[in-house]
Amino acid sequence: MARIVVTGGAGFLGSHLSEALLDRGEEVVVLDNLLTGSVTNIEHLFGRHGFTFVHHDVSTYIWVPGPVDAVMHLASPASPIDYLELPIQTMKVGSLGTHNALGLARAKGARFFLASTSEVYGDPEVHPQPETYWGRVNPIGPRGVYDEAKRFAEAITLAYHREHDLDVRIVRIFNTYGPRMRAQDGRVVSNLLVQAIKGEPLTIYGDGTQTRSFCYVDDEIRGLLALLDSDHTGPINIGNDGEFTMLELAELVLEVTGSGSTIEHRPLPVDDPTQRRPDLTLARTLLGWEPTVGLRDGLERTAAHFRRQLGDDATSG
């Protein structure tokens, strides 16, 4: 049994990770300031042996009493609507928060795991994106607060690895979706599913030909754990390499939900990437991991989650 600290553990991805760690017998200490996370995501874990929740902002000093075997740093606003509304907090958790989490790992002699993002590739000129690609990011654009925070986090993580011989892992997470996403999350899958379920027009930005790759949360968590347990520092891409245009996604959402919603086009946001798809060669060869849940199946499961959520709160969305 290991004792693992998960920062951002009350968020969408962090709550699934915390649950998976408990399921395999680990002790889990979740640190979260609930800025974008929610106790609702983890309330079913409170009665479980080995689970602890601490309401704390990791941008300030972190200390966890007792032994710690791994620090998994997921804390950060992660959807555009969040990091555009919380630019300074996003930069702080990516810089100060990562520094503090690294400090805890070093003090405890623990493995450090950084949840980075495909956003480090920006609007890529290389497609699909391998881990060797340095990216094309606008550091002073509105999206730069998230992109550059994660790029800095990768840099300081590897600085600790080189300077202090800290055992580290870096994952670059591509678009992930599934149950526990918020109705007002602002990411494209949640936006379209909620709009379809409520019978509202589906919002497509630009002409809808831009592409993304969508990984179901169960697959993503398996990938994170495979990297945590491996001997590979990374960075390693974890995502689904199926590539879809936004119009293809919208049409599939309409099929899955049976909605009669129309599609409404709006101006493309600044610096919105034109294409995004992971090269999964390293994940497949080094970790023996690959995604298994298709987009239709994942959308059906996620739609069921939103139907339950919207049924409980008719004002959601």
For 177-211, what is each residue's pLDDT tens digit?
Answer: 999 999 988 899 999 999 999 999 999 999 999 99
**What percent of the chain is predicted at pLDDT more than 70?**
98
Query: What are φ and ψ of residue 70, in 5° steps?
Result: -155, 145
Mention every residue, 6+ apart, whose C-beta is less than 8 A from residue 209. 245, 246, 247
pLDDT score recorded for residue 273: 85
Averaged pLDDT, 23-52: 97
H or E element, residue 238: strand 236-238
Question: Is pLDDT of 58 > 60?
Answer: yes
Q: Is 267 exposed, middle or buried (0-12, 13-18, 19+ CB in 10 A)?
A: exposed
Question: What is the value of pTM for the model shown?
Answer: 0.95
Active-site residue, 216 included: no
Nearest to 105, CA basis, from 73, 57, 137? 73
pLDDT score recorded for residue 186: 87
Q: How is residue 112 written in tokens?
A: 């450090």
Cβ atoms within 10 Å, residue 89 = 21
pLDDT score recorded for residue 274: 86
Do 278 and 226 touch, CB atoms closer than 8 A?
A: no
Query: Among 83, 121, 146, 160, which one carries the catalytic annotation?
Result: 146
Set out the domains of the chain in order of their start, with CATH numbers. Answer: 3-176+215-238 (3.40.50.720), 179-212+242-276+293-312 (3.90.25.10)
- The model's pLDDT over 59-108, given as tens digits with 9 standing for 90+, comes to 999 999 999 999 999 999 999 899 999 999 999 999 999 999 999 999 99
Mention every residue, 6+ apart, whose C-beta is less than 8 A from residue 92. 59
- The model's pLDDT over 10-21, given as tens digits with 9 standing for 90+, comes to 999 999 999 999
DSSP output for 74-125: --S--SHHHHHHSHHHHHHIIIIIHHHHHHHHHHHT-EEEEEEEGGGGBS-S
pLDDT score recorded for residue 316: 35
pLDDT score recorded for residue 245: 96
Strands 236-238, 211-212: pairing is unpaired
Q: Is the Cα dihedral 56, 58, 60, 64 positive or negative?
A: positive
- The model's pLDDT over 272-294, given as tens digits with 9 standing for 90+, comes to 888 899 999 999 999 999 999 99
- For the chain, what is the total number of helices (H) and then of strands (E)? 10, 13
- CA 54 to CA 129: how far, in whole Å? 37
- CA 293 to CA 178: how far, in whole Å? 11
Nearest to 236, CA basis, from 171, 159, 160? 171
H or E element, residue 309: helix 295-312
